[in-house]
Amino acid sequence: MSQQEKNFRPRTVEAYVKMIEDALAEVDELRYSYEFDMEGMGSTPNFVEPIDGELKELLAAMRDGSYAWGSEDLAYMKYVNRFKDKIPFHRLLAVINETHQQGLNVDDEA
C-alpha cells in the first residue's frame, strides 16, 4: 500500500465508526436513487442489501465492543469488486475494508 493510500485509513476508533456511518448514509442514498429512477418500483440492485447489512453489523459490533479486526476481506468486498462502477462510494468501502484488515493508521505522524 502506498503512503498516500495509508493516509486514508482513520487514526481513531471514532473516525472509523464515522466512516462506517458515512458509508451507511451512502448506501441509503444509492438505494433511494435506484428507487427513484425506477419510478417507485423499488428495484434496487442485489448488492445493496448485503453491503447495507454487513455495514450495520460492523457498526453494531464497534458500538457494543464485540468487533474483532480481521485479516480477510469483509464479505461485501465481493460486491464492491464486481460492481464498483455502480457504487459511487466504492473507495470508502475499500478503505473500511483496509482498516478492518490492517487496523487504524496510528503509525503516521500528525
Give the domain ranges of the chain: 3-102
- 53-105: pLDDT as tens digits: 999 999 999 999 999 999 999 999 999 999 999 999 999 999 999 999 999 99
Q: Which long-range contacts (CB under 8 A, 24 or more apart) does 37-46 make?
A: 45/83, 45/86
Q: Work out the mean pLDDT of the chain and round it to a whole number.
A: 88
Q: Is the pLDDT of residue 32 over 50?
A: yes
Residue the block writes with cell 460486491: 79
Higher local confidence (pLDDT), 35 or 100: 100
Higher local confidence (pLDDT), 23 or 2: 23
